[in-house]
Amino acid sequence: MVLWGLVPGTLLVAMVGCLWLLGLFRQRRPQEPPLDKGFIPWLGHAMAFRKNMFEFLKYMRAKHGDVFTVQLGGQYFTFVMDPLSFGSILKDAQRKLDFVKYAEKLVLKVFGYRSMQGDHRMIHSASTKYLMGDGLEDLNKTMLDSLSLVILGPTGQSLDAGCWREDGLFHFCYNVLFKAGYLSLFGCTKNQEQDLLQAEELFVQFRKFDFLFPRFVYSLLGPWEWLEVARLQRLFHRMLSVNHNLEKNGISNWISYMLQCLREQGTAPAMQDKFNFMMLWASQGNTGPNSFWALLFLLKHPEAMRAVRKEAAQVLGEAKLKARQSFGIEISALHHTPVLDSVMEETLRLGTAPTLLRVVHGDHILKMASGQEYLLRSGDIVALFPYLSVHMDPDIHPEPTAFKYDRFLNPNGSRKVDFYKSGKKIHHYTMPWGSGVSICPGRFLALSEMKLFVLLMVTYFDLELVDPDTPVPPVDPRRWGFGTTQPSREVRFRYRLRPAK
């Protein structure tokens, strides 16, 4: 009898436990932001969020205001939408907001890489040494050579001057930037033909992974797609294997320094391969798509194209191909290109939409610029989505959806850095690189590389859209929140090497 009485009791406890796990009992506590759990237990708003993060957050902001907590797949996210209040989150003076913890889980799932303590610091110190300042100068030169190699071919014969070629603009930009970036960072052999073929093969596989990536992160793949992702992961681990490094020369200092650190920590070679895969992804997933948006905006805005070409002619003088094999650009010329800089900044504003995430460690008070204070609960995640809250804010950037090539220029032609919200000067007026501890350490290289590419294309080539009236395609909504966006369809274009004068 006594035993039988236990069964309903145990069942009850189990049921309550399940409901608790499903988040049914969570209530908004005093001082906490508005809580929106959605109707579906545990999942909460996950489906709407994954389908179109931008529209979902716009709706939530209209409903709840600048701060709100939503449930997404069993995890609670507090979104902060007021850019004047970002400072305390990004500086995090009390060290209550943790970036590394969330990132570690993600990279283990996506790249198979198991992080070690100190990795984050190691990556940033390698990047400070080799992706910024003097260290970047070498890489700039290598990048120009790689771009020449990829665009003109090993003998410079692959393009006939005056002969039009047609391609998808997105495919073309992604392909060129990927191959040039990969060869510059991960090294090449003496056989350039072979290197190009290998880079091309890697690109084809990279795009397959890239295509599945958003749904992979959200665990929404079908059974066949899971198998495909696992196959691609193995393939990248193999193709980027550190065992091949011996055959290569010209591996960038950036990569060799980081691999050296891993070896000294005693990281197994198989894990180093996975690290390489992670770095390939971080370094090559954004520059191509971003260059696509830049060239497309220039092609759709003739006055912008004219201004960039005029500036290019001023800094480069008469551009000529050197012995048909490489672009003879003096890289230092690119230090004085305010118009192109503004075009790139405007492109990043319109085209790049990262999410910044921090795990809350211990209950924490968030102070807003308005003076209001919110309690953040330990274990929740604080999230920023600057594309909506900053890039598209009409107060900071009037007519925010329009491409204005001179948006980041002062009337006297210098770089514009003064932007205002509600009359207050705003520090974070665009955030394509993230900010704070997780800011992109490759941002200077990325800008150099994209600027070089755009400059080469507008200087040495005639470019035109196959259909000049084709509108700028909308963004693929599944990619909101993952860095640079991608178009929902391809745009055909034509290019030809300008005949030598």
Ligand X SMILES: *[C@@H]1O[C@H](CO)[C@@H](O)[C@H](O)[C@H]1NC(C)=O
- Tell me which residue of 431, 340, 335, 314 sits closest to 140, measured CA to CA: 335
Which residues does residue 493 pair with via DSSP β-bridges, in sequence order? 167, 465
Q: For 187-222, where are the alpha helices, taking DSSP H only?
A: 192-217
Token readout for 325 is 């094999």
Using CB distances below 5 to 8 A depending on partner kind, what does residue 282 bind out of ligand HEM, ligand X, none?
Answer: ligand HEM
Number of residues counted as binding ligand HEM (CB under 6 A): 22
Task: Compare residues 173 and 344 and give the one whose CB is closer to ligand X.
Answer: 344
Contact 482, 214 (CB under 8 A): yes
Residue 136 touches which member of ligand X, ligand HEM, none, C-beta under 5-8 Å by kind:
ligand X
Residue 389 within binding range of ligand HEM, rule CB under 6 A:
no
Whole-number Cα distances in Å, 491 to 169, 292, 451, 470 = 6, 10, 21, 8
CB-nearer residue toward ligand HEM: 182 or 495: 182
Strands 75-80 and 67-72: antiparallel
Q: Which of 212, 331, 369, 426 binds ligand X (CB under 6 A)?
A: 331
Q: How far is the CB of 295 from ligand HEM (least distance, A)?
A: 14
Rounded-to-integer distance, Cα 352 and Cα 230, Å: 28
334 binds ligand X (CB under 6 A): yes
Asked if residue 135 lies in contact with residue 129, where contact means CB atoms within 8 angstroms, the answer is yes
Nearer to ligand X, 133 or 269 (CB): 133
When binding is defined by CB under 6 A, the residue of 283, 342, 347, 448 that contacts ligand HEM is 283
Looking at the DSSP bridge assignments, the partners of residue 327 are 321
CA dihedral 259, 255, 279, 486 (to 10 degrees): 180
- Residue 350's SS3 state is helix
Distances (CA, A) of 256 to 94, 104, 138, 219, 444: 35, 22, 14, 33, 19
User: What is the closest distance, in whole angstroms, from the C-beta atom of residue 19 to ligand HEM in the complex?
Assistant: 33
Token readout for 41 is: 């237990």
Q: How far is the CB of 112 from ligand HEM (least distance, A)?
A: 16
Site mask for ligand X (CB under 6 A), range 197-236, x = bound: ----------------------------------------
Torsion of Cα atoms, 430 then 432 then 438 then 441, to 10°: -110
From the list 49-57, 238-246, 350-358, 362-370, the region that binds ligand HEM by CB under 6 A is: 350-358
Q: Please tell me the distance from the alpha carbon of residue 120 to that of residue 440, in angstroms, as a whole number.
A: 12
342 near ligand X, judged by CB under 6 A: no
Q: In the complex with ligand X, which residue's Cβ is closer, 186 or 453?
A: 453
**Minimum CB–partner distance for residue 408 and ligand X (Å):** 12
Output helix, strand, coil percentages for the chain, rounded to the nearest 5. 55, 15, 35
CB 173 within 8 A of CB 288: yes
Binding mask of the shown chain, residues 288 to 327, with x at each position contacting ligand HEM by CB under 6 A: --x-------------------------------------
CA distance 49 to 77: 12
In terms of CB distance, is 264 or 418 closer to ligand X? Answer: 418
CB of 294 to ligand X, least distance (A): 14
What's the closest the beta carbon of residue 55 comes to ligand X, in angstroms? 37
Binding partner selected for residue 140 from ligand X, ligand HEM, none, CB under the kind-specific 5 to 8 Å limit: ligand X
- Least CB distance to ligand HEM at residue 441 (A): 5
* Interface region with ligand HEM, contact rule CB under 6 A, candidates 22-30, 363-371, 388-396, 428-436: 428-436
Q: Does 330 bind ligand X (CB under 6 A)?
A: no
Q: Give residues in contact with ligand X (CB under 6 A).
A: 133-134, 136-137, 140, 331, 334-335, 410, 412, 414, 448, 451-452
